[in-house]
Amino acid sequence: MQEEPVLIVKNLSAVFPNGNGGLQALDQISFSVFPQEFVCVLGPSGSGKSTLLRILAGLLLPTGGKVIYQGSELDEPRRDIGFVFQKANLMPWRTVIQNIMLPLELDNISPADAERYAREMVKLVGLCGFEETLPRDLSGGMAQRVAIARALVHDPQLLLLDEPFGALDALTRERMGMELLRIWQARRKTVVMVTHSISEALLLADRVLVLTPRPGRIRLDFPVNLPRPRDEEIRYTPEFTELTRVLRGAIG
Amino acid sequence: MGVMKFSMKQIDQNNILINRAVNSYRPAIFLAIISLTIAAFLWWLISRLGNFPSFILPSPMDVWHRFVLSITDGSLLRNSLVTLQEIVLGLTLGVSVATILGYFLAKSHTFEKIISPYIVASQSVPIVAIAPILIIWFGPGIFSKILICSLTVFFPVLVNTVVGLRSVPEELQDLMRSLKSTRWQTISKLEIPGALPVFLGGLRVGATLSVIGAVVGEFVGSDKGLGFLINLGRGQYDTALVFVSVFTLILIAMSLYGIVVILEKRLLSWQQSSKDTILEHQ
Ligand SMILES: Nc1ncnc2c1ncn2[C@@H]1O[C@H](COP(=O)(O)OP(=O)(O)O)[C@@H](O)[C@H]1O
Ligand SMILES: [Mg+2]
C-alpha cells in the first residue's frame, strides 16, 4: 500500500481524571490506517478500545498525542466519519427508514433524495419490507443492521464500529459478521472496528491491532494475509486456525 | 373520538397493540357511563331520603333546573368563558416559561445550582398565600388570574421538562455529536422527541392544576368567572349554582386532561406501553 494513510495516530494517550492522579486508559498508541483497509482492534475489556474509537470519531479529545485524518488534525467530529455503537442506538420514535435518513437530514439533503439513498441502504443491509417498522419491533441483529445502514448512508470515508455485535447472541453475531463482510465487499470503506472476538477479527480484517490490558498499548500490529474475497468457509481452513492460535497467544 | 381513530389507524401499522388498544377502550367508556349513572342515582337517593333543604344538598333535578336557568340568562357561558380564558392564557404562559427555563436547567448545572433554591422555596408557599399579593399588585382583573394560574402550572411542567431532557440517552447525544448536528438540530430531532413522554406527563398534571389556579385567583378577588359564581352561590345560599359551577369546572378540567391524553396518544404512538384508559395515566 503506497497510498497516503487516511488516518495517522501518533503517540496517543488518554487519561481520565479520578481521585488519585488520573486513570490512564491509553498509553502512547501509534498506528496508521490506509484507504480501504479494514482494521480490527482486539483487547480485553477495559483496555481502552472504546476510548480509542471515541477519540478517532472526534467525540473525545486525547490528553496526549494526536490524530491526523486526511491530512489535518482531528479535534472535533466530522461528517465524513460514520460511527456504529455497541448498542444499536436508534431513535425509538423513528421508523427504520427515518432512522437511516437521520444523517442526511442533518446534512440538509432534500427529503426525496434522502429517502432514495436510505432505501438503497435498506436493500444493502437486507431489511426490505421493514422500512416502516419501529425499533421496538426489531430483533437485536436487525437493529444493528439499521445502525450500520445509518452509518453508511451519507457515504463516509471512514467507518468506526465499537463492538457492533457485542450485544448479540453467538449465532446472530456470526451471521452479522458475514453480513458486514458482504456489505464491506460491496462498498469498500476504510474501517476501524473494535471487537473481542478473534474469529470475527480474522474473518473481516486486513490487520489486527492487539491492545494490552490497562493502560492500553499496542502489543501487536498483525497483518491478516488471508485471501479475499472471503466467505464462511475460511473459518475452517488451516491458515485461519493458525492465525487464531497466534492471536490467542498474543492476547494471553 | 380521536383516540378511537388512533387505535384504528394502528391496525395497519402494527399488529401487536391492536387487540389491547381496541378491546380495552370501549369498555372504559361503557364503565364510565355506568359509574356516572350509579353516582347520580345515589345522589338522588340521598337527597330524597335525607329530605335535605335545597341549600344544603340540592337534588339532581334542582341542579338541572339551575343549569338550564344559568344557560338561558347567559351567566354560565359568560363566566365559563372568562375562566377558560384565564386557564388557556395561564397554561400558555406557565408552560412556555417552564419549558424554556427547564431547558437551561437541564443543560447547565451551574444555572441549576443558582436557580433551584428559589424554585424549591416558591413551591413551599401555597398558591392561596401568594394569590392575594398578586391581586394587590396586578389588580382584580384577568391578568392576576393568569399569573396565578401560570404559577400553579409552572412547577410540574418545569420538573418534567428537566427530567425528560435528562432522560435522553447519552449515547443518542453522542450520535448527534458524531454527526456534527447543530444545536438546533439536536433540540428538534433528539431532545424534543426524547423528552416528550415525560414532558407530556407534566403537562397532564399542569393542565389539571391550571383549573385550580384560575379558581383560586377568582376566589381571592374577582367579579367574574366560575370561581366568582361559586362565591356568589355560597353567599346567596344558592347551592344549586355552586353545584352547576363545580360541575362546569370538572368538565373543563376533564376536557383539558383529555386533550393532553389525546396528544400523548398521537405523539407517543411509538411507545410500547398501551395507555388505554384515562385512569391508567394516574
Ligand atoms: N468517561 C470516562 N471517565 C472515566 N473513566 C473512563 C471513562 N471512559 C472510560 N473510562 C475508563 O477507561 C478505561 C478504558 O475504558 P474503555 O475505553 O471503555 O475500554 P474498553 O472499551 O476496551 O472496554 C476503563 O478502565 C474505564 O473505566
Ligand atoms: Mg468498550
Enumerate the H helices of B2-126 as residue ranges: 2-13, 18-50, 60-72, 75-107, 109-124
| Ligand minimally distant from the alpha carbon of residue A87 | 2
Q: Does residue B163 lie within any of the structural domains?
A: yes
- At residue B6, what is the residue type? F
| Distances, alpha carbon B260 to alpha carbons A17, B8, B206, in Å | 45, 19, 10
Atom of ligand 1 nearest to the CA of A60: 1
- pLDDT by residue (tens digit) across A186-232? 888 999 999 989 999 999 999 999 999 888 889 989 899 999 888 88
Please state, for a pLDDT cut of 70, what percent of chain A lies above it: 99
Domain of B203?
Answer: 10-50+60-267
Q: How many CA atoms lie within 13 A of B130 on its CB side?
A: 17
pTM: predicted TM-score of the whole model, two decimal places: 0.85
Is the bond into A229 cis (omega within 30 degrees of 0)?
A: yes
If 0-12 CB within 10 Å is exposed, 13-18 middle and 19+ buried, where does residue B223 land? Answer: exposed
Residue B164 falls within a domain, yes or no?
yes
Decide whether any atom of ligand 1 lies within 6 Å of the A214 Cβ.
Answer: yes
Q: State the maximum Cα–Cα separation within chain A, in Å, rounded to a whole number.
A: 54
Of the candidate ranges A50-64, A70-84, B15-29, the one whose mean pLDDT is the lowest? B15-29
Q: Which amino acid is at B266?
A: R
Q: What confidence tens digit (pLDDT) does each residue in A131-177 have? A: 999 999 999 999 999 999 999 999 899 999 999 998 888 888 888 89
Identify the three-state secondary structure at position A24.
strand
Q: Is B171 on the interface with A (CB under 8 A)?
A: yes
Cα–Cα distances in angstroms (integers) from residue B45 to residues A198, B40, B64, in the given order: 80, 9, 16
Q: Is A26 in the pocket of ligand 1 (CB under 6 A)?
A: no
A152: nearest CA partner in chain B = B179
- Determine if ligand 1 sits within 6 Å of the CB of residue A167: no
- Cβ(A230) – ligand 1 distance below 6 Å: no
Say how far apart CA B261 and CA B208 lie, in whole Å.
12
Distance to chain B for A199, nearest Cα, Å: 28
Q: A28 — alpha (psi -120 to 50), left (phi > 0) or beta?
A: left
Number of domains in chain B: 1
Looking at the DSSP assignment, which residues form a beta bridge with residue A32? A8
Whole-angstrom distance, CA of residue A151 vs CA of residue B60 = 66
Cα–Cα distance for residue pair B26/B28, rounded to 1 Å: 5
Distance from CA of A62 to the nearest CA of B (A): 16
B172 touches chain A (CB under 8 A): yes
The answer to whether residue B1 is domain-embedded is: no
Cell of B45: 337517593
Return the residue matching grid coordinates 471512514.
A158
Residue B272 within a domain: no
Nearest-angstrom CA–CA distance, B258 and A162: 45
Does any CB of chain A come closer than 8 Å to the CB of residue B170?
no
Q: Is the CB of A25 under 6 A from ligand 1?
A: yes
Say if B185 is an interface residue toward chain A (CB within 8 Å): yes
User: Is B16 in CB contact (< 8 Å) with chain A?
Assistant: yes
- CATH number of the domain where residue B46 is located: 1.10.3720.10
Ligand 1 atom at shortest distance from the alpha carbon of A53: 17
> Please, which residues bridge with residue A241 across strands?
none
pLDDT tens for chain B, 282 residues long, are 333 333 333 334 434 444 444 455 667 788 888 998 999 899 989 988 888 888 888 988 889 999 999 999 999 999 999 999 999 999 999 999 999 999 999 999 898 889 888 888 888 888 888 899 999 999 888 999 999 999 999 999 999 999 999 999 999 999 999 999 999 999 999 999 999 999 999 999 999 999 999 999 998 888 899 999 999 999 999 999 999 999 999 999 999 999 999 999 999 988 865 444 334 333
CB-based contact A79 B13, cutoff 8 Å: no
Assigned domain for B274 exists: no
pLDDT at res. A179: 86
Residue A243 has pLDDT above 90, yes or no: yes
For the cut 70, the answer to whether the pLDDT of residue A49 exceeds it is yes
In what order do the strands lie in the sheet containing A207-211?
A81-84, A158-162, A190-195, A38-42, A207-211, A218-223
The minimum CA-CA distance between A74 and chain B, rounded to whole Å, is 13
Q: Is the peptide bond before A156 cis (omega within 30 degrees of 0)?
A: no
Contact A91, A82 (CB under 8 A): no
